[in-house]
Structure 1
Amino acid sequence: MSDKPNDLQKIRSVADYQFGKGVGEKLFPGGVKIVHSKRTGRIRHVYLEEKRLATLRPTNGLFSLNIAGAKRIMKHVKPQRLWVRVREEAEPFVARGKSVFAKHVIDADEEIRPQEEVTVTNEKGKVLAVGRAMLSGKEMKAFKRGVAVRVRRGVAEEVKKETLTLV
């Protein structure tokens, strides 16, 4: 038996480091499918039941979440981390993948640091989007101007993609 960690252990370790201890097992259960890059052989994507949970960025070795991954984290991980809650009037824009401005932020995890991967939710806690924090959690709540989260993917975009593939 070798001491070399397998791919599942590797991705769980990265998730624990990035999102908090214990998140790796909850985000990536035993039945995940790990896709490797054809060119480099490195881990690229992680799927569960044909839905992409996350992509491992080769530039920094951290995950970029998809909507399905963010929903798993918000559902299974308590206490929740790395979240941003937005006002009702901003919901449709954020869900379509538009950036979150500081004036629309109701609340945010105070542990957020700039450039971290965050989940954007509505007032009821429903996942709207995933993206990268531009401000710290404290700054998001205090500032009234500027971009708080650069959204990469919104839930409305996911629904649109699924309907396009079904047609």
Structure 2
Amino acid sequence: MINLARMLADIQFGRGAGAALFPDDTTFQLSSTQRLRYLISGNERIATVRARDSHLTLSMLGAKRLHVAFSHPRLRVVASPDAVPFVSAGKNLFARHVLYADPEIRAGDEVLVVDENDRLIATGRTVLAPDEMLQIKRGVAVSVRYGVEENVRRG
């Protein structure tokens, strides 16, 4: 099952993501239908396999591992200094506060939200495409799941 999780991560985030996210000591839990559901390190969740499309949703631990594995600008959306306190507390990132977005990401992708110095502040799902984030000045750009300051699930 860990090999399946690594393969899913490599497909979703790029080559090398599976090994970075899920080292050999990773454990897993199955859903009631015996499908891979949760990937765990110790007693902390790394990621969840979303049932509807088999995409991974990241916890802060998973986001931290990808942040170390991939250099800037890969998988990142950069938040303005004004937005950092709110986003790191788990609030959504609005388009007017996006300074940069990796052009390879698409709407609906799991991303890392960072500040101008590439410090990880949150993880979430993009609502807009990178070009839209930079051109549109209204609406949510990234629906934040977890901020570094508060691990409260959102969206």
- Structure 1-normalised TM-score? 0.85
**Structure 1 residue 144 displacement after superposition:** 1.8
Match of 2:134 in 1: 141
- Range with bigger deviation, 118-127 or 71-80: 71-80
Corresponding letter in the other structure for 2:90: G
Structure 1 outlier segments of 4+, above 3 Å: none
Structure 2 Cα separation of the partners of residues 147 and 42 of structure 1: 32
Corresponding letter in the other structure for 2:127: M
Matched, 1:12 2:6: yes
Contact 1:26 1:77 in 2 (8 A): no
Tell me which of 146, 150, 155 is aligned to 1:157.
150
* Partner deviation per Cα, 1:59-105 (whole Å, 9 max, x = no partner): 11110001110110010224652210101111111112111111111
Corresponding letter in the other structure for 2:81: E
The change in CA–CA distance for 1:151 and 1:68 in structure 2 (over 3 A counts) is same
- Range with bigger deviation, 87-96 or 8-17: 87-96
* Secondary structure of 2:118 counterpart: coil
* Secondary structure of 1:157 counterpart: coil
Tell me which of 12, 21, 24 is aligned to 2:18.
24
**Structure 1 residue 23 displacement after superposition:** 1.1
Structure 2 Cα separation of the partners of residues 100 and 51 of structure 1: 25
Overall identity of the aligned pairs, in %: 41
- Structure 2-normalised TM-score? 0.91
Structure 2 Cα separation of the partners of residues 91 and 40 of structure 1: 40
**Can you give the 5+ residue segments of structure 1 that lack an aligned partner in the other structure?**
1-6, 162-167
Match of 2:116 in 1: 123
- Range with bigger deviation, 75-84 or 50-59: 75-84
Query: Greater helix percent: which structure?
Result: 1
User: In angstroms, what is the RMSD of aligned CA positions?
Assistant: 1.6
Match of 1:69 in 2: 62
Corresponding letter in the other structure for 2:143: R
**Can you give the 5+ residue segments of structure 2 that lack an aligned partner in the other structure?**
none
The change in CA–CA distance for 1:106 and 1:23 in structure 2 (over 3 A counts) is same
Match of 2:107 in 1: 114
